[in-house]
Amino acid sequence: MLVTVLDDASEMAAVAADRVEAVCATTDHPVLGLATGSSPLALYAELVGRHRAGRISFARATSFNLDEYVGLPAGHPQSYIRFIRRNFTDLVDLPAEAVHVPDGNAPDTHAAALAYDHAIRDAGGIDIQVLGIGSDGHVGFNEPGGSLASRTHVGVLTSQTRHDNARFFDGDLDQVPTRCITQGLGTIMESRHAVLLATGEQKARAVRELVEGPVSARWPATVLQFHPDLLVVLDRSAAQLLELADFYAEVSTAGSIAR
């Protein structure tokens, strides 16, 4: 794990985009793992900008989102399929048929989850996984208490996560689904490279556990300490509880991380 602490959102986006771009350059058919939510928005905007500048193409890429809510009406603006198309995949040359998101409206969501896990494997596995982190320590929607080796599955959202995400549903908790399909931690751990973004003091505790805490199901993101190539990109607020924050900030300048 490499931790970098940066001052502003555009710097964070540039460092993360450099990572995505570098991994994509190593393969003819990159497989991207994509997160939704606020954390990766600046990264996606940066990648769209680089695409428009002719610097990067996703024409031969495939993408797999981390997760999807169960039971949102098809076409709901806060569904993760709509989110990723609106904020990234429709804005670049990634073919629509190569964009994959779990089917939260499948008649059998458990079967859909299993099929999704197999589809990732059939695509050759994920080259670079983009991640955020929940304030309760989830990655994907792997909430506390689950298996650290889980595969893509149907999960239940904590009330903390539903409160956190109510901002996307006009602040109305009742509109936030209670269940999801999520890549499992075992699935996420098989990604060859990963970049996790976190901003704001509401993420500080989860970030401390992720980087410096003991590995435990209480803080699911801690399993990423075993990931072979994880870059953690933080702002100062998210990094504020790290014991070694000064050290990470010293060694992880944007230039040294990117190149």
Residues that bind ligand F6R (CB under 6 A): 35-39, 66-67, 132-134, 138-141
Smallest gap from residue 54 Cβ to ligand F6R (A): 29
Stated as kind and residue range, the H or E segment containing 116 is helix 109-122
Q: Which is nearer to ligand F6R, 30 or 134 (CB)?
A: 134
Smallest gap from residue 158 Cβ to ligand F6R (A): 11
Angle value at C-alpha 16, between 11 and 19, nearest 5 degrees: 130
Smallest gap from residue 98 Cβ to ligand F6R (A): 18
143: annotated active-site residue: yes
Q: Please answer whether residues 83 and 117 qualify as being in contact, where contact means their C-beta atoms are separated by less than 8 angstroms.
A: no
User: Residues 18, 68, 127, 136: which is the catalytic one?
Assistant: 136
Q: Please answer whether residues 201 and 178 qualify as being in contact, where contact means their C-beta atoms are separated by less than 8 angstroms.
A: no
Q: Which is nearer to ligand F6R, 18 or 67 (CB)?
A: 67
18: annotated active-site residue: no
List Cβ neighbours of 203 (8 Å cut-off, separation of 6 or more). Answer: 133, 135, 237, 238
List Cβ neighbours of 126 (8 Å cut-off, separation of 6 or more). Answer: 31, 32, 33, 64, 120, 190, 191, 192
User: Residues 76, 100, 138, 153: which is the catalytic one?
Assistant: 138
Smallest gap from residue 146 Cβ to ligand F6R (A): 13
67: annotated active-site residue: yes
29: annotated active-site residue: no
The whole-angstrom separation of Cα 234 and Cα 76 is 31
User: Residues 67, 127, 164, 190: which is the catalytic one?
Assistant: 67
Catalytic residues, by residue number, are: 67, 136, 138, 143
